[in-house]
Amino acid sequence: MGLFENKKGLILGIANDSSIASIIAKEIMRQGGMIGVTHLPDRPDDEKKKNTMRVRKALKGFDDQVKFLTPLDVQDDANIQSVMDEAGREFGEIDFLLHSVAFASLDDLRVPTLGCSREGFKMAMDVSAYSLIAVANAAQSILREDSAITCMTYYGGEKVVPGYNMMGVCKAALESITKYLAYDLGPSKIRVNALSAGPVKTLAGVAAGVREMLALYDGMAPLGRNISESEIANTGAFLLSEMSNGITGEVMHLDCGYNIMGSPGRLTEQIDVGK
C-alpha cells in the first residue's frame, strides 16, 4: 500500500517535466495519490496550447490519476477560487496542496536588486509570495484535518546569492508567510511547510543563474554533491504526507548540507592563498 493511497490533492505550478512540482507529483502518484494540476495559462494566440501540452507530456503515464488539468493565474482571485471549486467537485476534500509558483520578469531579475523596478517588485512579490496566502485562504474549505501545504523556496531567501537577486527577496517573504500561515491554520490541523531545495536545472532555476551554483555545491556541501531527483521526490512527498504530521512552520533544507557551511569548506584546499 502506497503512502498516498486514497489521498487526493492539488499540485500548483507544473511547467514541464523538469519542474520540481512534476517530480514530486509523479512520486505522489507512484504512491497511489490522485491529483488535480494547474499550469500557466496559454496565450490567447497560442493555438497549440504549449503550456498545457508540456504539462500533459510531463505527467504522461499517470492519466488515470490526474483528475483534472487547468490553467491558473495566481493574480486572479476568481481564478484561484474556481480551481478550488473544481477540486471540491472532484475530490470533496483534499489531503495536500503543493505551491510551486514563482515569477519575476527577466528585466528585474537580471539586474542587481538595487535596479529592480517598482512594478517589477510588485509583480514578483504578488506571484511568488502573496499567492501562497491567496491559495491557502481559498483552499481552507476543502483541506481536511491533518492535511498539508508545502511551498518551494531556496537558500537565496536566507543569504545573499549573487544572481538570485529579486527572487531572493521574494523567497524571504515566502518563508515568513509559511510560518505565519502555519500559526493561522494550526487550529484547523493544517500544516504549512517550505522545502528549500538546492540548485536544480528547471526553467526557473536557469533563469536565476542556477548553473553557476552547481559546481559550488559539489565542492562546498558536506556530502560533496548536489541533490538528486529521487531526493526531491521523496522529501516533497514526505512533507505532504501523514509521515510529517508533527511538523509545521518549518523550512526544510534539501541541499546535501550546503546551508550549514560558514566557509567554503573543502573548496579551500583548491584555493592558492599565497605565502
164: region left, alpha or beta (phi > 0 left; psi from -120 to 50 alpha): alpha
Between residues 44 and 251, which one has the greater pLDDT?
A: 251
- Look at residue 274 and tell me whether its pLDDT is greater than 80: no
pLDDT, one tens digit per residue, over 87-113 is 999 999 999 999 999 999 999 999 999
**Mean pLDDT of the 31-47 span:** 92
C-beta atoms surrounding 222 within 10 Å: 13
Cα–Cα dist 94/269, whole Å: 51
- Look at residue 204 and tell me whether its pLDDT is greater than 80: no
Would the pTM of this model clear 0.85, i.e. be above it?
yes
pLDDT, one tens digit per residue, over 156-175 is 999 999 999 999 999 999 99
State the catalytic residue, choosing from 154, 155, 217, 258. 154
pLDDT, one tens digit per residue, over 229-270 is 999 999 999 999 999 999 999 999 999 999 999 988 888 777
Q: Is 180 a catalytic residue?
A: no
Confidence grade of residue 203 (pLDDT, cut at 50, 70, 90): low
State the catalytic residue, choosing from 155, 164, 217, 258. 164
Copy the grid coordinates of residue 82. 474556481
What does the pLDDT read at residue 236?
98
Residue 35: strand pairing partners: 9, 66
Structural domains of the chain in order of their starting residue, each with its CATH number: 8-259 (3.40.50.720)
Cα–Cα dist 268/270, whole Å: 5
What does the pLDDT read at residue 214?
81
The length of the chain, given as a count of residues? 275
Copy the grid coordinates of residue 3. 503512502
Q: Is 154 a catalytic residue?
A: yes
